Amino acid sequence: MAAQTISAWTSVTRNGFNIHTCTAYTDAANEVNYTNKTPDSLRTDKPWTLIVSADAASDGAAVPLMVWGGYKSNFAISGTTARCTATSGVQLGELVDDIGYAAAVAGLAFNITPGSSGLANIVTLAAVATGLRFNLPVMPWYAFELMADDAVTLLAHTLTFRIIQKCEQINAPLPTVAGVGPDPS
């Protein structure tokens, strides 16, 4: 039986940034490894950085990383011995053609721009020196799927996904006006 363990997203704030983390473990009987939907606190209309790392080799061939978007609160992706399918969501595209399957991956960073930055997506591992970039349609939630591109099972491994986004200063203190205290307006 295929074993899959996916953690809930956890969130912390450090140095003015929200950091959301999710881990996904798969054994060697699965074709996919994936996350839960992103947390509600992610501002999906603002830029963010996705960092993906793997604790061990994930496959014997290329392993693309896919992104899914959800449009209802019950959005989820699932799969084990077949490609993921979605409840209340759609596959948006391939973030990268291969995360680097032959060994552990310290971390790949993706610049995520909701809507469009006007720049083309960069999704090939060979172009990593120029920075991986992806323009995502703005959706309420996202989820990520690593898949065995050769349609055989992955090797046992754990992926760690980190989303880093600048905090919004929603309740910032009012500025001082001419040294007389907060602006009363």
170 pLDDT higher than 60? no
Of residues 69 and 116, more confidence is placed in: 69
Does a structural domain hold residue 185?
no
Tell me whether residue 89 is in a domain: yes
Per the domain annotation, does 104 fall within a domain? yes
> Per-residue pLDDT tens for 113-152?
888 765 556 556 555 555 566 778 899 999 999 988 776 7
In a domain, 177, yes or no: no
How many structural domains comprise the chain? 1
DSSP code of residue 153: P
Instruction: Write out the residue range of the structural domain in which residue 81 sits.
Output: 4-166
Predicted confidence band of residue 1 (pLDDT cuts 50, 70, 90): very low
In a domain, 23, yes or no: yes
Report yes or no on 72 lying in a domain: yes
Residue with the bigger pLDDT between 77 and 1: it is 77
Residue 84 lies in a domain: yes
DSSP at 176: B
If you average pLDDT over residues 17-23, what whole number do you get?
Answer: 97
**Long-range pairs for 12-19: beta carbons < 8 A, 24 or more residues apart:** 13/167, 16/166, 16/167, 17/164, 17/165, 17/166, 17/167, 18/42, 18/163, 18/164, 18/165, 18/166, 18/167, 19/162, 19/163, 19/164
Instruction: Determine whether 178 is exposed, middle or buried from the number of CB atoms within 10 Å of its CB (0-12, 13-18, 19+).
Output: exposed
The confidence score (pLDDT) of residue 104 equals 84
Confidence class for position 17, pLDDT limits 50, 70, 90: very high
Q: What is the mean pLDDT of the chain?
A: 83
For the chain, what percent of residues have pLDDT higher than 90? 44
pTM score above 0.85:
no
Please report whether residue 112 resides in a domain: yes
Residue pair 20/42 in contact (Cβ under 8 Å)? The answer is yes
Q: Quick one: average pLDDT of 95-112?
A: 82
